[in-house]
Amino acid sequence: MTVSGPNKGGPVLRVDDLRVAFSTFDGVADVLSGVDLEVHPGQRVGLVGESGCGKSVTMRAIMGILASPPARVRGRITFAGEELLTMGRAQRQALKGTAMSMVFQDPMTALNPVFRIGEQLTDVVRWADRRRGLRRTASERRARILEVLGQVRLPDPERIFDAYPVQLSGGMRQRVLIAMALLNRPRFLIADEPGTALDVTTQDEILRLLNELVRDEGLALLMITHNLGVVREMTDYVYVMYAGNVVEHGTTDAIFAAPAHPYTRALFACVPKLSGGRAYAGIEGTLPDYTRPPEGCRFHPRCPHAEARCFERPPSFDLGEQHHSACWLHAPTEAKS
C-alpha cells in the first residue's frame, strides 16, 4: 500500500492494487501485479516506462476499454469517489468522454477519414448529451465545437469544422483530438503519448498547448509516455513502471534530481543527453515473459544490485515525503536517516 501525493481534498483518481491478467495460449499472462496510483485535482501526473511495461494496460483499465475477456481486471479504481470496476455498465459508459476523457496518440489514425471533422466532433457531443440527458440544439452544439476548436488554437474553426482529416496536417489533427477530449468539459484527462507521432517542433507546440489548457481549465492530467524529457517538462508527479509494477514514484523534481530505483537509474543512463558526453549503458537482458514473471522484484534478473532478498517482493519504501522506491536497497534497516 502506498499513500502519496499532495492531499487537496482527496484524489480525482485513485487506483488500488490493480491487477490485470490475460489468458493466452501459453497460459495466464500476469501483466499488472498490483499497481497503485493517485491523481489529484489540478495535478499533472506522468506514467512512464518502456514498451510492454503495462502503462497502456493501466490506462485502458482506467478508461474501461480493456476487452474482458481475455483481460481479467481486479483491484479498485475510484474516480471522484465512485468505484469504477463495480459500477453499472450504463453509469460507466456515461463517464467516458465526459467527466473523464482521453487524448489519443496517433493523429493519423484516430480520426475517421470519410467524415468531416465537424461531424465527428458533433457525434461526440451528441452522444455525451444523450447519456447525460442534456437537450441541445444542433446550433448550440456547433457553437460549442467552434469554441473548443478556437481554444486549441486552430485558425479558422469554421473551415476546420467542414474539413476532412486529410486536409489537415498532423499537428492540426492532434489539436482536433485534444479538442475532442475537451468538448464535454472533463475534469480528468488521460493523454497517451501525445505528439509522439509528430516532429519535435510540432510536438513542442502541442505539449505547450496541452499544458496551458490543463492549467486554465484546472484539469487533472494523467500522461502516459516513454519519453523522460516530456515527463520532466509536463508533469508534477511521476510513476515509473517496469514489468507491470510501479517501481518508483515521487514528485518530478525529486525523481529527476535523484532517481533511486536501479531500473529508473538505468533508464536515465540510456537517454542520450543534449550536453553530449556519450555514456551508453543500456540495460542487459529483456523484459520478462508475463506468463512466467520472476519471483519477487520483477527487475532482479536484470539488476546489478540483485541479492537473495530480491526474490521477495519489496514494498514501497519512503525516500522522502514525496519520493518512494520499491527496492530493498531502500529498506530502512541499519542506521539510516
Report CA dihedral (150, 153, 154, 157) to the nearest 10 degrees: 10
- Whichever of 11 and 157 has its CB closer to other proteins, that residue is 157
106 interacts with other proteins by CB under 8 A: no
Selected from 201, 218, 333, 334, the binder of other proteins by CB under 8 A is 201
Give the chain's largest Cα–Cα span: 69
Q: Map residues 110-149 to x or -, x wherever contact with other proteins holds by CB under 8 A.
A: ----------------------------------------
Q: Candidates 38-46, 130-138, 278-286, 317-325 — which segment interacts with other proteins by CB under 8 A?
A: 278-286
278 interacts with other proteins by CB under 8 A: yes
233 interacts with other proteins by CB under 8 A: yes
Strands 100-103 and 188-192: parallel
226 interacts with other proteins by CB under 8 A: yes
Selected from 37, 59, 224, 230, the binder of other proteins by CB under 8 A is 230
Half-sphere exposure of 276 (CA within 13 A, CB side): 0
25 interacts with other proteins by CB under 8 A: no
Nearest to 293 by CA among 316, 315, 311: 311
Q: Position of cell 508534477?
A: 236
205 interacts with other proteins by CB under 8 A: yes
Selected from 58, 203, 245, 316, the binder of other proteins by CB under 8 A is 203
Half-sphere exposure of 101 (CA within 13 A, CB side): 21
10 interacts with other proteins by CB under 8 A: no
Number of residues that bind other proteins (CB under 8 A): 41
304 interacts with other proteins by CB under 8 A: no
**Minimum CB–partner distance for residue 46 and other proteins (Å):** 12
**Minimum CB–partner distance for residue 273 and other proteins (Å):** 6
Residue count (the chain): 337
In whole angstroms, give the CA distance from residue 178 to residue 115: 18
Give the Cα-Cα-Cα angle 325, 228, 301 (nearest 5 degrees).
50
Nearest to 222 by CA among 239, 205, 247: 239
270 interacts with other proteins by CB under 8 A: yes
Question: Which cell numbers hold the place of 87?
Answer: 459500477
Selected from 274, 333, 334, 337, the binder of other proteins by CB under 8 A is 274
305 interacts with other proteins by CB under 8 A: no
**Minimum CB–partner distance for residue 248 and other proteins (Å):** 15
- Whichever of 99 and 117 has its CB closer to other proteins, that residue is 117
Q: DSSP assignment of 9-66, as one string?
A: SS-SEEEEEEEEEEEETTEEEEEEEEEEEEE-TT-EEEEE--TTSSHHHHHHHHHT-S
Residues of this chain that bind other proteins (CB under 8 A): 50-51, 169-172, 199-205, 207-208, 226-230, 232-233, 256, 266-278, 280-283, 286
